[in-house]
């Protein structure tokens, strides 16, 4: 999907994301090796797209934002601190690009949750789950979907980053542009509000 950000097909093993680690690929990319950056794109393009999609709630807009973010990351590698983790740095660029590109914050939360939770709720049953378990799981997702939709946008986003994208606290801090302690408090408050809404739905 983002193959043009980088270089040619047939990347050598040193550039293969299944072989080389981020530090190696970043080191080569900083030296001007576009194939190495293509390896980074292959490794991180899915999570980058999903972060952009959480922010904008539209697949076409998310794809545009992700593509632009990778281009900015490629040209911004000179500012990347050697030895720092690459993924949080990249995801911060993606989130900022998506925010700058997006027009309506009010649409963001509702569209994002509809997309994620609809996909989860309508996904095929697990091969290891009984039909009864699968029905319960889908019913629970529907309840969570309704409850999340009643949260304000920033609460929806922090919950989705943590529990749907499985971002770590440090990655969330980079993407959200705040300290890890702030991430913890924001997530705690959002979960408390979500719990209150869910208890009200069950009443």
139 with 15: CB under 8 angstroms? no
Give the global pTM.
0.60
* pLDDT one-digit tens code per residue, 73-117: 999 998 898 888 999 999 999 998 988 886 544 444 545 555 555
Q: CA-CA distance, 29 to 195, in Å (whole number)?
A: 45
pLDDT digits (tens, 9 = 90+) for 28-55: 999 889 899 999 999 999 999 999 988 8
The crossing angle, in degrees rounded to 10, of helices 105-121 and 131-148 is 170
CA 135 to chain centre: 27
* Mean pLDDT score, 126-142: 55
Q: Is the pLDDT of residue 201 over 80?
A: no
Q: Which domains does the chain have, with CATH numbers?
A: 1-103 (1.10.1740.10), 104-203 (1.10.10.10)
């Amino acid at each position: 999907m983002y193959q043009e950000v980088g270089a040619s097909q047939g990347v050598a093993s040193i550039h293969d994301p299944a072989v080389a680690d981020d530090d190696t690929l970043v080191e080569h990319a900083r030296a001007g090796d576009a194939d190495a950056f293509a390896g980074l794109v292959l490794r991180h393009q899915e999570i980058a797209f999903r972060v952009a999609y959480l922010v904008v709630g539209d697949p076409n807009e998310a794809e545009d934002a992700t593509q632009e973010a990778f281009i900015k990351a490629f040209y911004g590698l000179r500012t990347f601190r050697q030895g720092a983790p690459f993924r949080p740095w990249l995801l911060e660029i993606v989130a900022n690009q998506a925010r700058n590109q997006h027009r309506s914050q009010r649409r963001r939360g509702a569209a994002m949750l509809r997309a994620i939770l609809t996909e989860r709720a309508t996904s095929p049953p697990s091969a290891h789950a009984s039909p009864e378990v699968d029905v319960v799981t889908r019913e629970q997702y529907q309840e969570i979907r309704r409850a999340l939709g009643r949260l304000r946008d920033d609460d929806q986003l922090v919950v989705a980053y943590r529990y749907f994208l499985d971002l770590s606290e440090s990655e969330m801090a980079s993407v959200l542009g705040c300290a890890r302690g702030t991430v913890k408090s924001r997530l705690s408050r959002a979960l408390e509000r979500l719990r209150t809404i869910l208890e009200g739905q069950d009443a």
